[in-house]
Amino acid sequence: MQEFSRLYIGGEWTVPSSDERIEVVNAFSEEVMGRVPAGGAADVDRAVAAARAAFAGWSATPLDERLGALGRIAEGIMARNDELARSVVGEVGTPSMIAPMFQTGLAAVVFGDNATLAPEIEMEATVGGTLTVKEPIGVVGAITPWNFPLVQIAVKVAPALAMGCTVIVKPSEYAPLTAFMLAEIVHEAGVPPGVFNLVSGAGPSAGEALVAHPDVDMVSFTGSTATGRRISAVAASTVKKVTLELGGKSPLIVLDGAPLADAVAAAVQGCYINCGQMCTASTRLLVPETQRDEAAAAATAIAESLAVGDPAAPDTVVGPLVNARQRDRVREYIQSGIDEGATLVTGGVEPPDGLERGYFIRPTVFADVTMDMRIAREEIFGPVLSILTYTDTDDAVRIANDTDYGLAAMVFGEPDEAMAVARRLRAGWLVVNGADQSFTAPYGGYKQSGLGKELGVAGLEEYLEQKAIHV
């Protein structure tokens, strides 16, 4: 049992304003595995005051000292990587095969990358005789989801601290434990009091208090599009900057003549990783009409071969979903696909054989999906792949872009042709022929997938204001 009874505010573990606790449930055993405080507006007030008080000193701290702290945080994460990964395996259900790298090791990489990239930013320049000066934006509220709980915090806290901002983190109530371990690591790293603060609590109370707070200069949010809309509306009353990393419904286009087996394998892997609880999941597989049967058979063969089970077991590829609410939501989507006339080629609403306990969903593949179906339009956040067909390349591009989202897209095909298609897609993160992805490239969605960028130099610059001094 991981128990945290205090909130990290002003460099100290402080007693929360109420005795209320949030129970953290293990996604596989369904048992309570931890407890954290259910913080509220009074705790947020204290955290914002601490962050405000620390801002003058931290923003004036030399860059290399700030970046030194980032480096020590990265080392601290790696020193506790196994423990952090075990926590995420329990909270989220991510298989232990990938958790130490994608869930926790990646957070250390993010702190390291931000330390490397920050000196590249030109803080001052002269434009036509006018001096332009970039400055840290101030006090930042970081609100994060449960699917990659530590990484999502890292991609906000690392650039904010690098640029001289101070931060209050409000982690997801469903997976808050690694945020508490990170606070311990930040403390050990010698980050001055008030620079990093942690207030756990529910979104509508602690989260919304942070967004509405007049002394918070910026809110960086990752989560669902519905919550992103609410946050934008609440933040508008104090006209603060908001960055949003929201949902997706990403297409993977297999162009005519592309190696179908490789492309389908990439689509299935990209759709089922973290049990589909990934915003860039390739959930719409677009194939030429003539390849519908072959694609469905290939996807089914892979889906049925995957080891589904205890995420702590070393060979498990697909673990449970995070909680019962999410499992029920995904089941409802699978039922809607059946009701709306898609062909269920494998998977379905029943739990996998022998896995009645744990929030499991069978790896599911639908064929004959069309863009008027909910499973093609709405983010499912579970292991559900939809296969759609197209007539020619223009039709593929039209279908791929026919979505409210614009987070990511993948293309397989002859390199020049695939590149040309990638340029036509209205999305922020494109992957051609399964290329390796760089975490120093700017990441962020078009349309209702978000506003602003994370990662890379662009991600750092979100935490800056710019002034012009005319002399």
Residues 277-316 that bind ligand NDP (CB under 6 A): 279
Question: With contact defined as beta carbons under 8 Å apart, do 146 and 322 qualify?
Answer: yes
Q: Which residue lies nearer to ligand NDP by CB, 202 or 464?
A: 202
88 is an interface residue for ligand NDP by CB under 6 A: no
Binding mask 342-381 for ligand NDP (x = CB under 6 A): -------------------------------------x-x
Catalytic residue among 208, 245, 454, 462: 245
Query: Tokens 């606790």 — which residue?
Result: 21
Which of 91, 113, 208, 310 is in the footprint of ligand NDP by CB under 6 A? 208
C-alpha distance from residue 384 to each of 282, 299, 302 (Å): 10, 11, 13
143 is an interface residue for ligand NDP by CB under 6 A: yes
Which of 203, 251, 337, 406 is in the footprint of ligand NDP by CB under 6 A? 203
Which of 190, 204, 257, 341 is in the footprint of ligand NDP by CB under 6 A? 204
96 is an interface residue for ligand NDP by CB under 6 A: no
Exposed, middle or buried by CB within 10 Å (0-12, 13-18, 19+), for 184? middle
207 is an interface residue for ligand NDP by CB under 6 A: yes
Question: With contact defined as beta carbons under 8 Å apart, do 433 and 407 qualify?
Answer: no
Which of 245, 286, 320, 459 is in the footprint of ligand NDP by CB under 6 A? 245
Q: What angle do CA 278, 84, 141 make, to 5 degrees?
A: 65
Catalytic residue among 279, 379, 454, 462: 279
Binding mask 389-428 for ligand NDP (x = CB under 6 A): ------------------x---------------------
Which tokens sit at 353? 């054989």
Q: Which residue lies nearer to ligand NDP by CB, 132 or 440?
A: 440
Question: Does an H or E element contain 384, and which?
Answer: strand 384-390
177 is an interface residue for ligand NDP by CB under 6 A: no
227 is an interface residue for ligand NDP by CB under 6 A: yes
Q: Which residue lies nearer to ligand NDP by CB, 326 or 433?
A: 326
The strand order across the sheet containing 464-470 reads 124-127, 130-136, 464-470
91 is an interface residue for ligand NDP by CB under 6 A: no
| Min CB(392)–ligand NDP separation in Å | 31
Stretch touching ligand NDP by CB under 6 A, among 165-173, 182-190, 255-263, 335-343: 165-173
145 is an interface residue for ligand NDP by CB under 6 A: yes
Stretch touching ligand NDP by CB under 6 A, among 39-47, 138-146, 257-265, 327-335: 138-146
Q: What angle do CA 133, 67, 222 make, to 5 degrees?
A: 80
Contacts with 316 (C-beta within 8 Å, 6 or more apart), sequence order: 95, 96, 97, 307, 308, 309, 310
Contacts with 330 (C-beta within 8 Å, 6 or more apart), sequence order: 276, 321, 361, 380, 381, 382, 383, 384
Question: With contact defined as beta carbons under 8 Å apart, do 105 and 84 qualify?
Answer: no
Q: Which amino acid, residue 10?
A: G
Buried b / exposed e across 192-203, counting CB within 10 Å, b at 16+? ebbbbbbbbbbb
Stretch touching ligand NDP by CB under 6 A, among 204-212, 266-274, 291-299, 459-467: 204-212
- Is 279 catalytic? The answer is yes
Stretch touching ligand NDP by CB under 6 A, among 89-97, 145-153, 430-438, 461-469: 145-153
Per DSSP, what are the bridge partners of residue 451? 244
Per DSSP, what are the bridge partners of residue 408? 429
The 3-state DSSP composition of the chain as helix, strand, coil percent (nearest 5) reads: 45, 20, 35
- Is 275 catalytic? The answer is no
43 is an interface residue for ligand NDP by CB under 6 A: no
The strand order across the sheet containing 12-14 reads 12-14, 7-9, 196-198, 166-170, 139-143, 218-222, 241-245, 450-451
Residues lying near ligand NDP in the complex (CB under 6 A): 143-147, 170, 172-173, 202-204, 207-208, 211, 222-224, 227, 230-231, 245-248, 279, 379, 381, 407, 445, 450
Could you list the active site residues? 245, 279
